[in-house]
Structure 1
Amino acid sequence: MRTWILHIDMDAFFASVEQMDNPDLQGKPVAVGGTSDRSVVSAASYEVRKYGVRSAMSVVKARQLCPDIIMIPGRMKRYKEISRMVMGVLAEFSPTVEQASVDEAYLDGTGLERLFGPIDEVARRIKARMKEVTGLTCSVGAAPVRFLAKIASDMNKPDGMFIIRHEEMHDFLRTLKVGKIPGVGKKLVEILTRMGVRTCGDVLQKPREHWEARLGKYGGALFDRASGIDPNRVVPSEAAKSCSAENTFHEDTTDRETLRQWLLAQSERVGEDLRRHGYKGRTVTLKVKFSDFKQITRSKSLDSRTDNTAVIYETACLLLKQVKLKRAVRLIGVGVSNFSPRNRQVTLFEEEPAKVEATSELDRAVDAVRKKFGGKAVTRMELLAFKKKPTNSAE
């Protein structure tokens, strides 16, 4: 069986999330980062990259290159929320997924051709499903070895796909610049350039011993990569320990009905995320941050673990009822923790009430409709008017 490793990289992730959440930013030169002159750019949209703006660049330099640049403060909690959705999509295709960062992951694709067809079709399905679930595009690279999968994902960005096939691998490597190999830094490139080495093909003109004598262990690793050898495999990421959603309001509020509506929307997101990953949690936590930035949390442990939207929401509302709103609220959120895999055997002491199981059937039906027709296909009646209001920022 042929080995396949895929690398999935979200396109301009932070900036793309901001453009998705605020349609007025679509097509505009957006960068995420600090707004002061001492700040740096964390992420740049493709619209602003054409001016030469890149991540880690100072804001001053970015504004010089693109006077019309729109700087947006980062919302890491929001990016992590979308990141969980990204990893959930990948878990639908393979049980072996390694999250490399908030916006990229490796996936062991060996054997997936039996389920989804040729590796090209696997990549296309991942891209389509990612767009359907998250609303964002990603670039996918596939190769026989890990480091080439990462290189492949960068070949046709954005919204790209590139496959390095087994029979094409050595021809691809022959002309690949050594600086493209992950881990080969600027200094090593300079050393190799002085030696007359620019491509992997140049490396292979000399035996492994030659490079070990000149570069030590780095020389051996360089020769291996130039030969298409990479012993690193996809190592599944540690399982999540909690799932949460929260929102920071544009205007602070003391209106409990508004807060309850936000808790319902958040409970939907958390419940759907739990069901997608196959987890249930016993502990529901409410998070409230006030206008003076003081933050409190209140938690309640349930008699049995749940992934049920209604149970999460009702518990969060009970916790909110116990909170005195002496000051306006600027952020509210709900989370579920104390996980157990959903397929875990339920003991007699954790038998769940019939009411919860019946409601779970409703959750599964809603999930199925949204999976097929998109996240906006079904909306709870309680949220119809609420979702017409201006969307507050989500962290």
Structure 2
Amino acid sequence: TTTTSTTAVPTTTTTELTTTTTGCEDVNENGICDKYELLRCETKYLTKTNLLVAKILCYIATVWVVLWCIITIIVNIMHKNSGHHRGIHFVEELGIIVLWIFMGALNLTFRNSSGFCKVISVVIHYFIVFVAACFVFEAFFAYAMARSKKIKNGSLPPFINYILPVLIALIPCLVTYFMKKSYYGNNGMHCFVFVSQEYMYGFVIPVWILLVIATFRSSLGNLACDQTTHKQDEKQCYWAKKSCKMLSFLAYWIFIAYLTCMFGSSNQLLWVLIIFFLQSLVLGPLIFVVHTYGHLNTVRKWYKPSGCLAKFYTPCPEKVETPRLFAPPPPPVARTPTPPPPKESPKKKKKDPPPREPTPPPPRAAPPPPPPPPPPVNVPPPPSPPPKDMGHTRAQDLWGWATTNGKDNRKDDVLFRPRPV
């Protein structure tokens, strides 16, 4: 049960206002600002059983998340998942481990230690911004591979993915600390941040801005169609497609659990810390799945069509180039028009050259003389033709007799006499 302080503010009849060294009003002259006394009387805080339950739940949540991160690292080492895309995930896992140790285990434990409590607040602030910055560079890496901007290792040099998150996290952490240094330290309740104070925005707004950039960039890589090519690194392209799909969910789940622990610690509410415990139970397996199912080596070893949990590791279908049925005609070849010949101005017009005299053809050579006739040869004269055959010399007379009627007109009687029957 949450208890309420019963300290009564003593009343006084003094009309003069006494101030402390900090300049606030102190009517009862006890060295404590009146507004802080009223705030303390209205603030609930965890004691005894509730505090013990809250500590146990935070310890379990911390061990659970750290254990899953270590398992994720071991599995990726066993499956030989390497490369700069795996390096970004590894840095994120280390940041999550440190963040949950200080936020979950040490936050309520050292709430009465002034010096160490201040260190815990700074470390929590630094590592939440560091993890958010890692998500930004993961999003840019995955976007470049999913959209075929680069063949391997993304659009940025690989070492930038590890150095810039360290520097980016320092900026809001140091600015908030030196501007609101008096708020850091022990307060008897927790080592986090008071949500009612202005320095709380330094713990929230930078993280929120980085996550918006990361989720927007990864969403652009996820919404586009498959633009990867066979020239790119196969394992990094597969990882990029999976990373663009799950980066937003994992990043915002960590951010929501961070805010839940912040409000639960600041308001000293046990039921809010129970929600933080449940969120941590989901976060552990979520980190394991997201940081393993995007690696092609793990998918090839663990995918089983019949297994329920193994369906997380369903491989992407192979990209097949299919011919289009109604392909548009090829565009016409653009012909470069020949420029017209330059027009000559009448002033610069060249004069026609004088006509040339025709050159006479070369003289022909005289034909060679004909060869002399061959000498006569003594050839014997040809033999005389044989005498003509003078037979049938009376045929003309027979034809004349047959074609004339004669004196007795008996030609028809001789030639066309019918045969006797």
**TM-score range relative to shorter protein:** under 0.3
Q: Which has the higher contact order (CA 8 A, sep 6+)?
A: 2
Compare the two structures and name the one with the higher strand fraction: 1
Which has the larger helix fraction? Answer: 2
Q: Which has the larger radius of gyration?
A: 2
What TM-score do you get using the length of structure 1 for normalisation? 0.21
Q: TM-score, normalised by structure 2?
A: 0.20
